[in-house]
Amino acid sequence: MTAPAATLHETIDVETPELVVLSYQVAGVGSRMAAALVDYLVLAVLLFGLSVLAVAFFGPSGRLLPTAGAAWALGALLLGNLVAFWGYFVVAETLFDGQSIGKRAFRLRVVRDGGLPITFAASATRNLVRFIDAQPGVFYGVGLASLFVSKLGKRLGDFAAGTIVVQEGLVAAPVVAGPTPRTGDGTEGAEAQHARLRDEEFALLDRFLGRRDELVPERAAAFEAQLADRFAAALADTRGDTPRAKLAWLRDAERTARARGLAARHDVGAARERHAITSRSAPRWAGFSAQVAEARKRGLASLGEAGVRRFVADYRDVAADLARLRTATRGMVADDVFYLNRLVAAAHNLLYRRRELPVRTAVRFLAFGLPAEMRRSGRLIAVAALLLFGPAFIAARAVVGDEQVASALVPPHMLDRAEDGVRRAAAGEGYIDDPQLFRPVMAGGIIANNVQVALAAFAAGMLAGVPTFLLLLTNGVSLGAVAGLYVAKGIGSLLLAFVAPHGVLELFAICVAGAAGFVLAGALLVPGQRTRRQALREDGTRAVVLFTASAVLLVVAGLLEGLISPIEWWPLEGKLAVSGTTAVLLYAWLRVGAGRRPRRGSAAASAAAPALAPALAPATTAPRAP
C-alpha cells in the first residue's frame, strides 16, 4: 500500500472511550486561512445586508424616519451587527458540530483536545478570544505567532478553549482487487502463496511506476535497472523482455496478493494478519462508509431506531478492526489504516456529537449558573473593583483639590461638556439633550460599545492579564476625573442624575469582565497542580461564563442608560430609586439564584445522565510527529 499524503502533516492521537486510538490530521495554516477568508466573505455579506436594512429606515434626506418603530428597528440593527460579527462563528460551530461555512468547504472541523465534539462554551471561548487575535499590530502578531509556533496549530483562543482544528473527510477505500498475475509471455501464472515484497518495497515500486512517464527516458531506464537489481529475487521466475515489463508484472502480482489477504514472505506474528484483515473486512467497511455518509448528510436520527442500533454495532466492529490493524502494522503508515482511521473518526464524531440545548437548560443557566460563577469568582471581582474604583477615587480627589488637573486626565470633549453642564444645570436641563425618539438608537449603540469593552477585558487575559489591568486602571482614572470635575464645578447632582439608573449594573459588569480576564491570566501564570493546558481548558469555561454574565448585565444597563437616564423631568430621587432597585435585584440574583442546587435523583437529572455520559468518558491526546 502506498503511504498517504497525510503523513506529511502533523497528527494527534486520541484515545476514544472504546480504547481505540484515532489519529487526527491537524489542519494546516493554508487551509485554515482559506476557510477564514470564505467565512469573512459570508460575514461581510451578512453585515452588508444588515446595513441595507438600516438604510431602509432613513428617508430620502438621510434622516431617521420620525417613527418609534423605525428607531427601535435601527437600535436592534446596531446590536445585530455586534451579534453577527462576534456570534457567527460561535453559532455556526455549535450548530454544525465544529464547522462554519468556510471550514465545511475545506473539510475542517473544530474538536476538543480529547477528540470529542466542541461545546457551546468551548466555541464561545475560542472565538471571543479572537478579539485579541484579530487586533492589528503587536496583538495580531501574538495570535499569528501562536498559530505557527504551536505544533498543533493553535490560536490563543484554541489554547484557552482546549480545542484543535483538524482536517476531516472520508477517503476512498484503498482495497481494490488487482488483475490475475501473468508471466512475462502472457500466460496465467501459478497462484501466489504469499506476497513477495515488504510493504515499504511495494510502496516504492508502486510510486515509481505511477510516475515513470513523467521522467525523462534515460532517468526512467536507470531507475528501472536499479529496482530490477534490488528486486532480483522476486523477479527470478518472470520471463519479461524488459525491466519495465518485469516490474509491472511484479506490481500486479503484489496487488493481487494483498487483495487476497496474503502476507509478505518475511512478515511474522500479527503482521501476517494485516492483509487478511483488510481483504476479509473490506466489504463491511464499504457498507459502514455508506452509513456514515448518509448519517452525515441527514443526521444520525434519520437512520431510525433500528438503524442507529446497527450503526453503533458496526462502529464497534470497525473500531476493533482498526485496533487490530494498528497492531498488525506495528505503527507503520499504510493506506488501509489511514482509510479506516478516517472512517472511525467520522463515525466517532457522529456518535459523540453535542446534544441540543433545551430552552429550560438555557433558562436555568441564566438564572442559576451565571450567579453561581460570579459568587465563586467573588475575590477576583473584588480585585477588579479595587483596580477600577481605587484610581477613580484618587483621580476624583485630585481634580476636586485642583480643577486644573482635569485637563491632563479628561478628554477635551468631556471638558467642553462639563462647561456646558454649568449652563444646563442653571437652566434646569439634564446631563445631555433628551433624544426621545432616538432613545432606542442610543441604547443600541451604548450596549454595543460597552459589550466590546467587556470583551476586551475578558480576551486580554490571554496576554497574561496586563491589558485587562491597564483597561481597568485607565477607565477608573477617567471616571474619577470626570466625576471630580463635575463636583468641582458644583454640578455633581447633574452627573449623578444621569448615571444613577444604569451605573450600578454597568460598573459591576465591567468588574465581572475584568475578573474573567484575570481567570484566564491565572490559568496561564499560576496553573497550580494542573498542567497549563488543563488549567486553560477548565478556567477558559469559567471565564466565558463570567463574560456572559457581564454581557447580560450590560444589555440591561444599556437599555436603562438609553431609555431612562436621559429623561430630564425625572427628579434625582426617582432615578436614585431606580438605582436602588437595580442594586436590590442584583443582590437577589447573586444570593437566591446561586443558592439553588439541582435535586438529587430528580427526573431531569436522570434523563440528562445518558446524554452527558459521552462527554464525561475518558479521552486523552498525545501529539505525534509525522
User: Above 90 in pLDDT, residue 374?
Assistant: yes
User: 260 lies in a domain?
Assistant: no
The answer on 574 and 426 residing in a single domain is: yes
User: 469 lies in a domain?
Assistant: yes
User: 26 lies in a domain?
Assistant: yes
Average pLDDT of the chain, as a whole number: 77
The answer on 395 and 340 residing in a single domain is: no
Q: For position 185, what pLDDT does the model report?
A: 41
Grid cell in block for residue 422: 454649568
Confidence of residue 377 (pLDDT cuts 50, 70, 90): very high
Q: For position 140, what pLDDT does the model report?
A: 57
Average pLDDT over residues 173-185: 45
Sheet holding 21-26, edge to edge: 108-112, 163-167, 21-26, 11-15, 620-624
Q: For position 6, what pLDDT does the model report?
A: 40
User: 209 lies in a domain?
Assistant: no
How many domains does the chain divide into?
3
The answer on 466 and 551 residing in a single domain is: yes
The answer on 433 and 338 residing in a single domain is: no
Q: For position 502, what pLDDT does the model report?
A: 93
Number of CB atoms found within 10 A of residue 72's CB: 16
Decide: 512 and 549 in contact? Cβ < 8 Å: yes
Q: What is the pLDDT of residues 398-419, one digit of tens each?
A: 999 888 888 889 888 888 888 8
User: 231 lies in a domain?
Assistant: no
The answer on 343 and 382 residing in a single domain is: no
The answer on 386 and 495 residing in a single domain is: yes
The answer on 124 and 29 residing in a single domain is: yes
Cα–Cα distances in angstroms (integers) from residue 497 to residues 436, 560, 566, in the given order: 17, 12, 9
Q: For position 587, what pLDDT does the model report?
A: 94
Domain that holds residue 290: 271-348
Instruction: Find the farthest-apart pair of alpha carbons in the chain and give their distance in angstroms, rounded.
Output: 113
The answer on 402 and 314 residing in a single domain is: no
pLDDT-wise least confident of 251-255, 453-457, 493-497: 251-255
The answer on 129 and 38 residing in a single domain is: yes
User: 354 lies in a domain?
Assistant: no
Confidence of residue 468 (pLDDT cuts 50, 70, 90): very high
The answer on 292 and 149 residing in a single domain is: no
Rounded to whole angstroms, the Cα distance separating 610 from 325 reads 31
Number of CB atoms found within 10 A of residue 218's CB: 7
Of residues 308, 320, 312, the one with CA closest to residue 281: 320
Average pLDDT over residues 285-311: 84
Cα–Cα distances in angstroms (integers) from residue 534 to residues 163, 347, 398, 525, 580, in the given order: 11, 26, 45, 13, 41
Q: What is the pLDDT of residues 196-230, one digit of tens each?
A: 666 666 777 777 777 777 777 878 777 777 877 77
The answer on 318 and 413 residing in a single domain is: no
User: Above 50 in pLDDT, residue 617?
Assistant: no
Confidence of residue 343 (pLDDT cuts 50, 70, 90): confident
User: 277 lies in a domain?
Assistant: yes
User: Above 90 in pLDDT, residue 232?
Assistant: no
User: Above 90 in pLDDT, residue 145?
Assistant: no
Radius of gyration of the chain (CA): 33
User: Which of the listed residues 140, 168, 196 is the one where a domain comes to its end?
Assistant: 168
User: 291 lies in a domain?
Assistant: yes
Q: For position 392, what pLDDT does the model report?
A: 95
User: Which of the listed residues 146, 168, 190 is the one where a domain comes to its end?
Assistant: 168
For the chain, how are helix, strand and coil distributed in percent, rounded to 5? Answer: 70, 5, 25
The answer on 383 and 334 residing in a single domain is: no
Number of CB atoms found within 10 A of residue 164's CB: 27
User: Above 80 in pLDDT, residue 368?
Assistant: yes
User: Above 90 in pLDDT, residue 604?
Assistant: no
